[in-house]
Amino acid sequence: MAAQSNELESQLDAIRQEATHTIAQTTTLDQLEQLRVKYLGKKGPIPQVLGGMGKLDPAERPRIGARANEVKEAIQIEIDQKKAALQTAAIAAQLESETIDVTMPGVGRPQGRLHPLNSTTDQVLDIFVGLGYMVAEGPEMETDYYNFEALNFLPDHPARDMQDTLYLPDGNLLRTHTSPVQIRYMEANDPPIRVAVPGRTYRRDTVDATHSAVFHQIEILAIDEGLTFTDLKGTIKVFLQELFGEVEIRFRPSFFPFTEPSAEVDVKWKGRWLEILGCGMVDPNVLKAVGYDPEVYTGFAAGFGVERLAMVLHQIDDIRRLYSSDLRFLKQF
Ligand code: DAH
């Protein structure tokens, strides 16, 4: 009988040894779980050994039962320790793989920048928005009515000539200035009006250092009760000083069909007078064309070329550089 109980004992020891060995070699939590089921589960080797106890002397049974429990507990402890070790290693590996090496060289991303025409437009619009103006836009293809007639151009005005204006086969035209948006905006809105209008404009000009067939303008329009030439002067002065800093400016009498009186404005820039914009009090005929009563409302308007402003502000010598897409030029801004 004693021989049999010794045999069961050594079977239990063998199970324990084998378990210790395989647990030690386990590298994943999944494998470990499989081992737990294998050694400690109901169908494992220990219940099998205990099944053989029936043949034992009853006095021997408690000793073998206690021994089996020892082995189970020992295996359970080894599994728990291994589990903790594998979990710690997994966290360490994750931390290792997620650390940022701050000494690694960065990935360079080429930085784009605004074209000088866009940044100049933004600068001008910012100033007028600061003065309470809205920003509006209009179509580049226009009718004779909006580009000329409603703006008080007489039928035989030279600007209407094929020499100056790009007409389309259908009788429409490419707008020669942003002033037609004055008419469109007034038709769609009631006074008081404060609006700034950036846009592309077209003329039948031969391209040279200061002329381009496609160029950009910004138009401003203010309509209200009681606006006078003083308001126009003050607005233009504030605008030019915001843009150029403290500069001398002068108003020269001029003529535009849609303003009366009209003026051109020069700034003293690097010792020279530079013509910067045209402006004037909105002609009563223009107000009548949009159904405003000129006895109640007055207003002023101004228009300037964005290329001109950009060239002056950035000392650009040739308008064609603005359209050349030459990165060596554009990277300077
Ligand atoms: N539309 C004119 C032009 O191209 C510029 C201009 C002059 C606009 C006087 C105005 C203005 O609003 O009042 O050339």
pLDDT digits (tens, 9 = 90+) for 41-95: 888 888 888 887 888 888 888 888 888 888 899 898 989 999 998 899 889 888 8
Q: Which residues contact 262 (CB under 8 A, 6 or more apart)?
A: 253, 254, 255, 256, 278, 279, 280
Distance in Å, CA 179 to ligand 1 centroid? 6
Beta bridge partners of 216: 200
Give the separation between CA 202 and CA 304, rounded to whole angstroms. Answer: 14
Dig out the tokens for 133 from the structure: 């103006």
pLDDT digits (tens, 9 = 90+) for 175-228: 999 999 999 999 999 999 999 999 999 999 889 888 899 999 999 999 999 999
- Cβ atoms of 303 and 275 within 8 Å: the answer is no
Geometric angle at alpha carbon 159, from 157 and 161, rounded to 5°: 85
Geometric angle at alpha carbon 66, from 63 and 70, rounded to 5°: 135
Please name which of 111, 114, 115, 187 lies closest in space to residue 145, comparing C-alpha atoms: 187
pLDDT-derived band at 126, boundaries 50, 70, 90? very high
pLDDT at residue 117 above 70?
Answer: yes
Distance in Å, CA 256 to ligand 1 centroid? 7
CA-based Rg of the chain, rounded to a whole angstrom? 45
CA 195 to chain CA centroid, Å, is 26
How much is the pLDDT for 264?
A: 97
Mean pLDDT in residue range 159-163: 72
pLDDT-derived band at 162, boundaries 50, 70, 90? low
82: three-class secondary structure by DSSP: helix
Q: Choose the residue to mutate in 258, 260, 308 for probing ligand 1, maximizing ligand atoms within 8 Å of C-beta.
A: 258
pLDDT digits (tens, 9 = 90+) for 2-25: 557 788 888 888 888 988 999 989
CA 45 to chain CA centroid, Å, is 67
Distance in Å, CA 263 to ligand 1 centroid? 10
Give the separation between CA 216 and CA 178, rounded to whole angstroms. Answer: 9
303 lines ligand 1 (CB under 6 A): yes
Dig out the tokens for 238 from the structure: 């504030």
| Shortest-distance Cα residue to atom 7 of ligand 1 | 278
pLDDT at residue 96 above 80?
Answer: yes
Give the separation between CA 330 and CA 138, rounded to whole angstroms. Answer: 28
| Shortest-distance Cα residue to atom 6 of ligand 1 | 303
48 C-beta neighbours (distance < 10 Å), count: 11
Q: Which atom of ligand 1 is nearest to the CA of 179?
A: 1
Give the separation between CA 251 and CA 279, rounded to whole angstroms. Answer: 9
| Helices 229-244 and 306-314, packing angle to 10 deg | 40
Question: What end-to-end distance do the CA atoms of the chain give, in Å?
Answer: 101
